[in-house]
Chain A
Amino acid sequence: EAGVTQFPSHSVIEKGQTVTLRCDPISGHDNLYWYRRVMGKEIKFLLHFVKESKQDESGMPNNRFLAERTGGTYSTLKVQPAELEDSGVYFCASSQDGSGILGETQYFGPGTRLLVL
């Protein structure tokens, strides 16, 4: 079974440009999550999809970030326009059951390393 995949693995862009990150969850997983790790700091939650609906987007930093999950399969996270402080590693995770069972496992992708110059 394929794991969570993310594309691209690395992205280097200039301030003011637009970048789109993609996440393909494990097949059959209705729940998809985005997280971000800024250099040297903790991994922080951005948002949670259940199928194509945004269940919780309380972690999105501002309106320059737009996440979509059309059709309830893969998801994209667009940053427009990118700022220097957006640099970091963006992780995607998926899970089968997001019913709130606290021990449920989320499966993480390898992350996309974004550098904004």
Chain B
Amino acid sequence: GDSVTQMEGPVTLSEEAFLTINCTYTATGYPSLFWYVQYPGEGLQLLLKATKADDKGSNKGFEATYRKETTSFHLEKGSVQVSDSAVYFCALRHTGNQFYFGTGTSLTVIP
């Protein structure tokens, strides 16, 4: 069945460091891929998405490219800030309306 595997955390980085959070998926066909973020005390928020192969989603300095050949959707940011500290969830949506989420990766950025 459909599933998402993402890099286990927690991840701790210094401010302005480069961030990569790996995400790979298993699905037949062509799912849509998402990154959601959960800031402390808040709900999940859509960070970015890509709906077809080779699409790049981007938002708030974060980017992820839908790679069909490697079944991956890695999240990257060139220079993280303290305000980026949160839990990041990779997800896919295939047929039907439900999402399949990864386990989440906790990121802490220290000044």
A-side residues, CB < 8 A to B, are 3-4, 6, 31, 33, 35, 37, 40-45, 48, 55-56, 59, 91, 93, 95, 98, 100, 102-103, 105-111
Other than the given A6-B43, A43-B99, 5 more pairs (CB < 8 A) read A37-B101, A42-B101, A45-B100, A100-B97, A108-B36
Number of B interface residues at 8 Å Cβ cutoff, please give it. Answer: 26
Stretch at the interface among B13-21, B44-52, B67-75, B77-85: B44-52
User: Do residues A55 and B43 form an inter-chain contact, with CB atoms below 8 A?
Assistant: no
Give the total number of A-B pairs whose CB atoms are below 8 A apart. Answer: 65
Residues of B near A107 (CB, < 8 A) are 46
User: Do residues B103 and A48 form an inter-chain contact, with CB atoms below 8 A?
Assistant: no
Residues of A near B42 (CB, < 8 A) are 110
Residues of B near A41 (CB, < 8 A) are 103
User: Do residues B99 and A35 form an inter-chain contact, with CB atoms below 8 A?
Assistant: yes
A35, A43, A109, most chain B CB atoms within 10 A: A43
How many Å lie between the Cα of A56 and that of B89 in the bound state? Answer: 23
